[in-house]
Structure 1
Amino acid sequence: MTSTAVPMALVVDGGYELAEGGRWVEGRYVYVDILSGRLFELRDDTGPAAPRQLARLDVPSGAVAPVDDRPDTWIAAAGTGIALLTADGTLEWLDRPEDRTPLPSRMNDGVADPAGRFWAGSMAYDGTHGAGSLYRTDPDGTVVRVLDGLTIANGPAFTADGTTMYLADSAAGTILRCRVDPVSGGLSGPETFAQLRGDEGSPDGMTVDDEGCLWVAIWGAGTVRRYHPDSRLLHTLTVPAPHPTSVCLDPSDNRLFVTTARHGVKNPTANSGAVLSVAVPVRGTPVCSWRGRRRTHP
């Protein structure tokens, strides 16, 4: 295992409380500020430090993925459920399953898989152990709870063929790995892929590179880790902020983007609550879209 303290470039000094969910979507970097419910994009042709706000919701926004064949429409893990977010900022709810849980909870990170399904986790606001779940949104718009007993569900991330899913339970310091049936979306497992000690920080947002290795933002440790598919820790990058939250690899360039948080930082700098980038020797895989139909709940 190697460790590197390569300087990271400050791309956006946004002062975000909890920037998360970075994705590279059709030539633009898209990310959220969870607690303020804001969605941003950053285009290569706009130069540094020029994000554009795409939407501001009245509920927390955990992550989005593009909707296939519907330009400027997103599927969002937001508030207590899953919704379609249209270009004018309207939310069309597919379901709000966390309304039916006993504790005040919200949705957290999420991503679409290569088969066109959308997966997103949840957590209780007070971090109650075991109160979080993982949900799968199928192409017909049905939202299904597929795992429970989690605490802070983060990730998930998929291999390019869609048959393996990585999922972090941040509070437990655990990265899980599941096999995914590409037809039904059914899971087998999960098994423990990696276990972090308490002094090593907590696994947060994740992505898989074009060599099949897993990159993980480590909250509380100011690092990003890269793991081999056999779970060997290959490399650790130092991040100039204590709480990196998500990682995104540009599929057309050798750049890693990292979002960070000001939340919980006593003496934040410009790098806390920011978007950072650094050159890396690998690239990402193309973003996946939710390939679903329009079936919404009031």
Structure 2
Amino acid sequence: MTATVPPAVLGTDRLELGEGIRWTDGRAVLTDILSGRLLAAADGPASPHTVVAQLPFPLGAVAPVEGCPGHWIAAAGTGICRIDPAGRAEWIARPEDDAPVPMRMNDGVADPHGRFWAGSMAYDTTADAGSLYRLDRDGRVTRVLRDVTIPNGPAFTADGTVMYLADSARGVIRRYPVDPASGDLGTPETFVTVAEGSPDGMTTDSEGGLWTAVWGTGQAHRYLPDGSLDRIVDLPAGQPAGLCLGGPDGRTLLVTSAHIGLAAPGPLDGAVFAVRVDVPGKPAAAYRPADRADTP
């Protein structure tokens, strides 16, 4: 159940809060949230990551925009914006501007039907201050969930009819039915409660397995669709934060980590890791504006 091959280290950078890693257009991109940087991951251990964009506010995660190379939809600052190839940000909505406590966006992802979903959280992790938002293909932004403390993910099944969302502060991953036509969520059920550490970034694979980085444990876990723990990957960093499946065959598990909050970070805290796995995943889904074709 536990991986025995040591993970490879990608790049010389050690990120403060590395998250939001996605495999897209033949490469991995990721964020260093609080520094506002969108990075392309290094191919090996000897070079730094490449800066794709530098924003003057936190950057949680991005999704590519279908048919628009170099454009991204981003969970950033207090809302959702579009980033162009020059790194300029155009706001779509900033729903957390007037929140009673200072807020920022955290994780986010596009679903198989072309919508973008992103969560918000309080800087001081105030309980229940966070929300989950959905950017529809027509550009409308809707708050779909309230009373989440630290939302991470979401992650979707291949057909987009199931969404997994972690509330990291509570150590729980919930599973929601999704109406594929409207994006409306049904009644959730608890999928997994993590006994140690906090579930963080997530992704699904071609067999319906769910991978999650487990913050505070130095591990990534794979769960089967029935919620049973299938595999553990040990990592030489205490705070794994985000992950995806990528590489030419989709069988490379890429994991970000963070050194924020550590009194004495180790040499690999904040590094990006690569581990070979058996079951592949797909490249990141794209945000698909309403004028694009309707086929997922």
Q: TM-score, normalised by structure 1?
A: 0.94
After superposition, the C-alpha distances for 1:93-129 in whole angstroms (9 at most, x for unaligned) are 0100011321100000000000000001110011011
Q: Which amino acid aligns with 1:219?
A: W
Give the superposed CA RMSD: 1.5
Partner of 2:228: 232
Within-5 A mapping of 1:103-118: 103-118=101-116
In structure 2, distance between residues paired with 1:238 and 1:28: 24
In structure 2, distance between residues paired with 1:94 and 1:262: 31
In structure 2, distance between residues paired with 1:287 and 1:118: 11
The answer to whether the Cα contact below 8 Å between 2:23 and 2:29 also exists between their aligned partners in 1 is yes
In structure 2, distance between residues paired with 1:176 and 1:252: 31
Partner of 1:162: 160
Deviates more, 1:112-121 or 1:281-290: 281-290
> How far off is 1:265 after superposition?
1.7
Q: Which runs of 5+ in 1 are unaligned?
A: none
| Residue 166 (structure 2) pairs with residue 176 (structure 1) | no
Within-5 A mapping of 1:34-183: 34-42=33-41, 49-183=47-181
> How far off is 1:47 after superposition?
8.2
Number of aligned residue pairs: give it: 290
> How far off is 1:277 after superposition?
0.7
Moved over 6 A (4+): none
The answer to whether the Cα contact below 8 Å between 1:170 and 1:203 also exists between their aligned partners in 2 is yes
Q: Which amino acid aligns with 2:229?
A: L
> How far off is 1:37 after superposition?
0.1
| Residue 257 (structure 2) pairs with residue 260 (structure 1) | yes
In structure 2, distance between residues paired with 1:293 and 1:209: 27
In structure 1, distance between residues paired with 2:98 and 2:129: 12
Deviates more, 1:252-261 or 1:145-154: 252-261
In structure 2, distance between residues paired with 1:250 and 1:102: 39
Partner of 1:185: 183
Partner of 1:250: 246
Partner of 2:289: 292
Q: TM-score, normalised by structure 2?
A: 0.95
The answer to whether the Cα contact below 8 Å between 2:239 and 2:259 also exists between their aligned partners in 1 is yes
> How far off is 1:33 after superposition?
0.2
Partner of 2:294: none
SS at match of 2:96: helix
Tell me the percent identity.
54
The answer to whether the Cα contact below 8 Å between 1:13 and 1:273 also exists between their aligned partners in 2 is no
